[in-house]
A and B are shown apart, each in its own frame.
Chain A
Amino acid sequence: DAGVIQSPRHEVTEMGQEVTLRCKPISGHDYLFWYRQTMMRGLELLIYFNNNVPIDDSGMPEDRFSAKMPNASFSTLKIQPSEPRDSAVYFCASSSPALGGGNVLTFGAGSRLTVL
């Protein structure tokens, strides 16, 4: 398995532009999580899905952020309009309780976003 695949790996954009981050979870995993990592705030859970349905989006910072999971193999995190304070590494992770072991999260490599 190729693991969790995120794109783009690096994104540099200007304030006010729309940013779309993409994630392909591991096939068969039915949970998908989006995290944001910054030096100041650490790893913050933004939103997570179970069977493509958003379960908890209380971590989404504001209305500028939205996430979708149209099918079991694809999710997007969109920021519109972007601001410099959105600069961070965004991680996607997936998991499956069927595999046992506590439903361990497998992380993607992350998308490093820089908003100028």
Chain B
Amino acid sequence: AQKITQTQPGMFVQEKEAVTLDCTYDTSDPSYGLFWYKQPSSGEMIFLIYQGSYDQQNATEGRYSLNFQKARKSANLVISASQLGDSAMYFCAMREFSYDKVIFGPGTSLSVIP
């Protein structure tokens, strides 16, 4: 069954430090995509980064990188050089391409401390 787990309800990080947000998933579909979204206190859902199950290299987008370990079924988000504006909820999501259903994990609340 399709499932996303984010085991860290809340995280703190010092400004300018790097932080890793954990995400593990479960699927029987060999073809899938993994996504991370940011939801600031204002409420909008902002797409950050995408990783396909067949991609050979880990995805990167500016200060965001995705540590994809397919055998372990994990897709952790790494934010480098944290900024105060990074304080938000972060959601991991998965899309099984044979079915196209997109589900989200419970989220991790990140607080950046000055």
How many chain-A residues does the 8 Å CB contact rule pick out? 22
Kindly identify, within residues 8 to 59 of chain B, every residue whose CB is under 8 Å from any CB belonging to chain A: 33, 35, 37, 43-45, 47, 50-52
Q: A103–B107 contact, CB under 8 A?
A: no
Least distance between A90 CB and chain B CB atoms (Å): 12
Interface of A is mostly: strand
A4 CA / B97 CA spacing, docked (Å):
22
Which of A50, A89, A91, A103: most chain B Cβ within 10 A? A103
Q: Which of A33, A56, A91, A102 has the most CB of B within 10 A?
A: A102
Q: How far is the CA of A31 from the CA of B102 in the complex (A)?
A: 11
Interface SS majority for chain B:
strand
User: Is the pair B43, A109 in contact by a Cβ cutoff of 8 Å?
Assistant: yes
* Nearest residue, chain B, Cβ from A102: B33
Partner pick for B35 among A35, A45, A104, CB 8 A cutoff: A104
A45 to B3, CA, bound (A): 12
A55 at the interface (CB under 8 A from B): yes
Name the B residues within 8 Å of A42 (CB-CB): 104-107
- How far apart are the CA atoms of A50 and B100 in the complex, in Å? 9
Between A and B, 6 residue pairs with Cβ closer than 8 Å are: A35-B104, A45-B104, A48-B101, A102-B50, A102-B51, A105-B102
The 10 closest A-B pairs by CB, nearest first: A102-B33, A107-B45, A43-B104, A102-B50, A42-B106, A104-B47, A101-B50, A56-B101, A102-B52, A45-B103
